[in-house]
């Protein structure tokens, strides 16, 4: 089967297209969110809402990235970055649309978060895009993408989603694999436009804080609505996620540190095996 001729009937949730970091072409998708349980990851509130929290705010983050990067495309016209960045933009647009679709399922399950999303949209469109320079917006995006690459690596390497609802496992593994496919591109885009160390560091710090803040706020919002915030099992599962079984916090700190070194250069090739595994095992 040639992928150019594929239709959504030819694959269950996403097209099995091998990684190609030189183009980053988006894959055709066919996600149907039917009969998704509220705690879809091993009945684990902490893990389920870690992913749900990211899902809440991803459309806002990705919409911001798409708008900023499209506006900055003339800066890299006719360079080797143009094709993969255009693909990157298309991938992020597809991610945003898909996670928006799942947000509607969360809303149908009874979760209330519209006010939080309106605040996030206002912050990106009316604050960041109006008051930060285009270069600083690119630095923020490089910071966002560094964090999402780290998260994707941890999730895929640890097989965190192995016991998840099949559709949700497929959703997050597809997204994580494409994050790995275009990892390092936002950094290269920023470095081409403005390679000053201080703008990269400031954008990296702000971007990291914003991603972590969105996850913490989203998790708290959803866990409280599940009335499991004071549940001992939730605290036990959160401890396993952060410190013991998955070691999310120490691993994140370990892989985040290199970004702030003067000589940092993303080694994306080291991560490709985890993305390739997703599409090989479809």
d(CA 257, CA 89): 26
Q: Categorise residue 106: left if φ over 0, alpha if ψ from -120 to 50, beta otherwise.
A: alpha
DSSP letters, 175-236, are HHHHHHHTTTHHHHHHHHH---HHHHHHHHHHHHHHHHHHHHHHHHHHHHHTT-TT-HHHHH
In this prediction, residue 227 carries a pLDDT of: 77
d(CA 241, CA 231): 16
| Residue 35 tokens, joined | 């009969």
**Coil/strand/helix, residue 280:** helix
Tens-digit pLDDT profile for residues 79-101 = 999 999 999 999 999 999 999 99
In this prediction, residue 229 carries a pLDDT of: 64
In this prediction, residue 72 carries a pLDDT of: 97
pTM for this structure? 0.94
Q: Which residues of the chain fall short of a pLDDT of 70?
A: 1-11, 228-230, 282
Q: Categorise residue 79: left if φ over 0, alpha if ψ from -120 to 50, beta otherwise.
A: beta
């Amino acid at each position: 089967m040639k992928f150019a001729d594929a239709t959504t009937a030819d694959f269950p949730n996403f097209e099995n297209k091998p990684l190609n970091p030189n183009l980053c072409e988006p894959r055709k998708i066919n996600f149907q969110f039917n009969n998704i349980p509220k705690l879809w990851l091993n009945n684990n509130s902490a893990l389920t809402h870690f992913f749900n929290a990211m899902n809440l705010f991803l459309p806002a983050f990705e919409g911001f990235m798409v708008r900023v990067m499209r506006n900055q495309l003339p800066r890299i016209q006719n360079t080797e970055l143009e094709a993969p960045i255009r693909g990157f933009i298309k991938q992020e647009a597809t991610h945003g649309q898909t996670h928006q679709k799942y947000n509607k399922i969360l809303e149908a399950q009874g979760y209330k978060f519209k006010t939080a999303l309106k605040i996030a949209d206002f912050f990106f469109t009316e604050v960041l895009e109006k008051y930060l320079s285009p270069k600083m917006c690119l630095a923020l995006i490089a910071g966002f993408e560094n964090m999402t690459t780290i998260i994707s690596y941890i999730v895929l390497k640890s097989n965190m989603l192995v016991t998840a609802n099949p559709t949700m496992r497929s959703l997050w593994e597809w997204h994580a694999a494409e994050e790995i496919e275009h990892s390092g591109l936002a950094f290269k885009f920023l470095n081409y436009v403005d390679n000053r160390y201080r703008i990269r560091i400031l954008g990296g710090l702000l971007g990291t804080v914003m991603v972590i803040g969105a996850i913490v706020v989203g998790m708290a919002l959803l866990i409280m609505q599940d009335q499991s915030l004071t549940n001992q099992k939730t605290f036990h599962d959160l401890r396993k996620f952060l410190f013991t079984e998955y070691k999310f916090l120490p691993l994140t700190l370990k892989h985040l540190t290199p970004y702030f070194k003067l000589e940092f250069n993303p080694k994306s090739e080291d991560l490709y095996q985890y993305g390739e595994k997703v599409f090989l095992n479809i």
